[in-house]
Structure 1
Amino acid sequence: MAGETDSGRPAPGPILARIAGAIGIATEGVAMSLGLAVVGIVLIVLGIKSIGAILVILAIPIALFFRDPERYPPRTENVVISGADGKVTDISDKPFPGSTGRLYHRVSVFMSPLNVHVNRAPVGGEVVMVEHTAGEFRAAFRDDANEHNERNLIAMTDPSGRMFGMLQVAGYLARRIVCRLRAHDRIQAGQRIGLIMFGSRVDHFFPAEYRVAVSVGQRVRAGESIIGAIDQ
């Protein structure tokens, strides 16, 4: 998966990445928002002002959707950081995806179209597996969405060998999951790892030895909010 999204599209090049960093939006949104704005301006110059104005106006909410602010974890040792912005919709104990073994804490975060959609690593360590599964596009807040919807599982281990999982789940509006990781990549807690477009959900799986540090209905921020911790 290096250099590609789950759908096999080429990853954004260095020029788009530099532009994205300069204007503070995710690379995937640069071509879309700037493209609309440029076409709109050209149409305005050519005298097709109404359509041009509409395109320029549309470029603004698209750019806002792909906004990518800097985030700074308060701490990274013995904690699990939220990988998504949004609202905690479910906390339960479930087997790790694809297994029937021991139970893990599962914390589900639903991202509305108004949330920042850049996903971040919940812990630091090594990526063990990245597995994309094609599926349906049901409402992401439904409990069975992680079994039927288009989804992408990232399994990772921390330096102590503990297993963690992050499941990117596409929602009713989402039609593309972006993951920038592959097996054996080294990651840092809070680093950008991808995004899901236009409303979606992220399920976090972490060992039972951690206590859950959030509650249902709580708002969290990717790369900053602690959702699990081992008390010192």
Structure 2
Amino acid sequence: MKIHKEGRRILFFTLLILLALNLLLYQFNEQAEGFNRVFSAVSVIAFLLLLQFFRSPFRNLLTHEDLVIAPADGKVVVIEDVHEPEFFGDVRKQISIFMSPINVHITRNPVSGTVKYFKYHPGKYLVAWHPKSSTKNERTTVVVESEAGPLVLFRQIAGAMARRIVWYVNEGDEVSQGEEFGFIKFGSRVDIFVPVDTEMKVQIGEKVKGGQTVIAQLKTQSSGLF
């Protein structure tokens, strides 16, 4: 396991600040030895929590042209047919994955293909499970024409704790299934929109791993793995 590039600068400066605060306490607050020890313990715990948030574990990626792979770690909280207004303007099947602060926050391409549409939306920071978070919160929208044919839309959605979404794709890019397309800092959600006749491979409440868990199978003329 390694530390993701998005966290290295934050971790470095956090470590410097915590070390400086602890040194100052031990130098100028020698009488409160008990408090100093507690503060040191809290500092170590806080840094370790931040460290695990930015972890980037090795993954054996699963790839297949007609499969939709989980774009992030987390729990499936929505599977329903909804009207998607931004790009399709019709009914699509939505799958939403909620990412808690303890999940890996790397976001991955659920399919391989060509990026046909990309847009960043500044917005609010409602809790990620709020029904309006997908249209009101800070977010990105990516649409990929998959190798299997159907267009797949997916969104990074900032949560109540998130204050920055990072993306690595633009319109016209060729993307590969399982590769990183971005990162969301401190709690978030990813929505995926597929054709309504797509076969679901997960259920609400199921925990998934980005780049590894099959969440759906697209309808194509060729036979798939399942």
- Normalising by the smaller structure, the TM-score range is 0.7 to 0.9
Q: Structure 1: 5+ residue runs without aligned partners?
A: 1-22
Coordinate RMSD, CA, aligned: 2.2
Write the distance in 2 (CA, Å) between the matches of 1:142 and 1:45.
Answer: 42
Question: Which AA in structure 2 matches 1:120?
Answer: R
What is the TM-score of this pair, normalised by structure 2?
A: 0.83
Q: Structure 2: 5+ residue runs without aligned partners?
A: 28-35
Write the distance in 1 (CA, Å) between the matches of 2:178 and 2:41.
Answer: 38
Q: CA deviation at 1:214?
A: 0.6
Q: Percent identity?
A: 33
> 1:8 corresponds to which residue?
none
Matched, 1:119 2:97: no
- What SS class does the counterpart of residue 194 from structure 1 fall into? strand
Structure 1 residue corresponding to 2:56, chosen from 68, 71, 76: 68
Q: Are the counterparts in 1 of residues 65 and 147 from structure 2 also a CA contact under 8 Å?
A: no
Structure 2 residue corresponding to 1:34, chosen from 12, 15, 29: 12
Q: Which aligned pairs between 1:44-59 and structure 2 lie closer than 5 A?
A: 48=26, 50=36, 55-59=43-47
Aligned length: 210
Q: Which has the larger radius of gyration?
A: 2
Q: Are the counterparts in 2 of residues 103 and 208 from structure 1 also a CA contact under 8 Å?
A: yes
- What SS class does the counterpart of residue 140 from structure 1 fall into? coil
Question: Which AA in structure 1 matches 2:207?
Answer: R
Structure 1 residue corresponding to 2:2, chosen from 21, 24, 35: 24
Structure 2 residue corresponding to 1:110, chosen from 95, 98, 102: 98
Q: Which aligned pairs between 1:66-215 and structure 2 lie closer than 5 A?
A: 66-99=54-87, 101-215=89-203
What is the TM-score of this pair, normalised by structure 1?
A: 0.81
Q: CA deviation at 1:159?
A: 2.5
Question: Which AA in structure 2 matches 1:29?
Answer: G
More off after superposition, 39-48 vs 155-164: 39-48
Write the distance in 2 (CA, Å) between the matches of 1:156 and 1:96.
Answer: 15
> 2:33 corresponds to which residue?
none
Name the CA shift for 1:103/1:72 in 2 (closer, same or farther; >3 Å): farther
Write the distance in 2 (CA, Å) between the matches of 1:45 and 1:149.
Answer: 40
More off after superposition, 153-162 vs 165-174: 153-162
Question: Which AA in structure 2 matches 1:60?
Answer: L
